[in-house]
């Protein structure tokens, strides 16, 4: 079942912070975060693993609450380059290594 992302869209001024949420109804092995700019391929940002380990981006942080099957992506002091659509992908415990993708959160950063 598709994870639910919120909000669907957010508009910020440069330098402001944003939080994007991803919520699943299934038990998860991990949550992946990707950013896609218009007309381009998604780019990997971060993986959050069961047990608290994180792998990924230096300037973007995230959390993973395993009990609630929820992850949040924190974008602090946003830059114009952060604009794009953010997708979470969840690995469920019985998923045969597939990622189940959320519908995306569109982030617009204004100068």
Q: Name the nearest CA neighbour of 66 among 92, 102, 94, 104.
A: 92
Beta pairing, strands 105-110 & 9-13? parallel
**Percentage helix, strand, coil for the chain under 3-state DSSP, each rounded to 5:** 5, 55, 40
Among 19-27, 57-65, 69-77, 86-94, which window interacts with other proteins (CB under 8 A)?
86-94
Q: 24: which 2 tokens?
A: 């699943």
Measured from the CB of residue 17, what is the shortest distance to other proteins in angstroms? 24
Site for other proteins in 28-57 (CB under 8 A): 29-30, 32, 40-44, 47, 49, 55
Q: Is 97 in the site for other proteins (CB under 8 A)?
A: yes
63 is an interface residue for other proteins by CB under 8 A: no
Under DSSP, is residue 67 helix (H, G, I), strand (E, B) or coil?
A: coil
Q: How far is the CB of 15 from other proteins (least distance, A)?
A: 27
Residue count, binding to other proteins (CB under 8 A):
23
């Amino acid at each position: 079942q598709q994870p639910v992302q919120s909000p669907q869209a957010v508009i910020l001024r440069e330098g402001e912070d944003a939080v994007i949420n991803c919520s699943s109804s299934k038990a998860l092995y991990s949550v992946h975060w990707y950013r896609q700019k218009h007309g381009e391929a998604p780019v990997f940002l971060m993986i959050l693993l069961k047990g608290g380990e994180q792998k990924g981006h230096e300037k973007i942080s995230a959390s993973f609450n395993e009990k609630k099957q929820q992850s949040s992506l924190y974008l602090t002091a946003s830059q114009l380059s952060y604009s794009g659509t953010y997708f979470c992908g969840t690995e469920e415990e019985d998923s045969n290594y597939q990622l189940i993708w959320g519908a995306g959160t569109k982030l617009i950063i204004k100068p």
